Structure 1
């Protein structure tokens, strides 16, 4: 089944709804004051359906990864004044994070997604120089990025959040290759990957069937996530999602040894080595 771009884009509304619900918890890991209006009725409806089908467990990954990438991006921004959010969706980090002075945040996504977010946030002020770019990742987005003011000679922090599982393996490698070509030494690439074991986990069956039925199947997973950037000379630190999830008291299982056969998801922070 071919993945429908509109179906993948709809997941951005679901993610926004999860972030909105997290933001009103007493023990919240982050506060996103824009998430509720970005999710709109459609996103909250999707979340209610997901909770009814699969329970809260399948939403925790989004909650933990949001906090993890918030921290990682602000850390990377201390040395990278350019940030590129790949398939940004209904992400509001340009508005809600306290960016260092002089930071530019480029948001890449399909034109209807960018247009919808621009409309919802029209009266809000970003905390950085925000450059929204409506462009399908199958097209020449590097050219559009440069036209929007991106400087390929300066270190860049990249984030690929919640995307790679929707791409086939060839598309994943093409995306990483393009990012590498635009990155000078000192650049940072952040991405999350689901493990093949997670794709086979029984508790994920309901969610995966729902995604496939809606035209957005999960296609890619790996239990060696560093291999995506290793051939290009990036040094990668891989974190099992269970580690910060347990640290913050928001995970459903203890951290298990790497050699064990268990469902996993991974966060990767990779730095391009200097010559």
Structure 2
């Protein structure tokens, strides 16, 4: 199924990190992110930076690694990549202590993507795709993986796509992007009973990639139905507001809350996607990780 994709990825070169922008203070902690020349090139690599600034490439028997997510401690990272033997998207866990990588959904026969840890570190929520001949396309639903047993429990079974799930801070809910007619809205599912609620939906506008920190929900959406520049938003339970660093003439995506009103995110402010840190007053480029490629999908674990 993915044979041609994997062949192209295997021929891709490993990235050499070379700074291209000005820098300022980087938050003290651990950082994980991915980088590629272009998504269609399928040459993404995943990186892990320690508080001392040392950067590792997370490598294994896979290609096109991306979307890393820290667990309850910085020594465990889950991510998605294409297993080279099975030729399928799978969910992996990286152990930073011994630098081992384990495929948690090996030879499942499905597409397994968009992993995020539960607050207690015992499970991972993700989206699972299967071919549906009735619609002549993949059907994507939400699933939970038990980290200890590797058992998978399906949460949904819908023709419409559900993607990019994440847990609420208390572990009682799953936030996700639900798609209808190609446009996403932000939903919340109660795990105890499966009840769903629309958190954000705007006519003609795509909203996706929810991220939770405490009681706040963050997500990406188009500026308007006629302007498809991505903007980053915050929902505090009552109202949705645009984050202060958004600009209408470029894209902002992949929000990673750090603390207070500070964030790491990706933006095309200077052309390709780079990582930026907003400290509550100004945004600075992260020279340690930015390059001539596209840097996206950051997650941060604070040393404090």
When normalised by structure 1's length, the TM-score is 0.33
Which structure has greater helix proportion? 1
Which structure has more relative contact order (CA 8 Å, sep 6+)? It is 1
What TM-score, normalized by structure 2, do the two folds share? Answer: 0.31
Whose strand fraction is larger, Structure 1's or Structure 2's?
Answer: 2
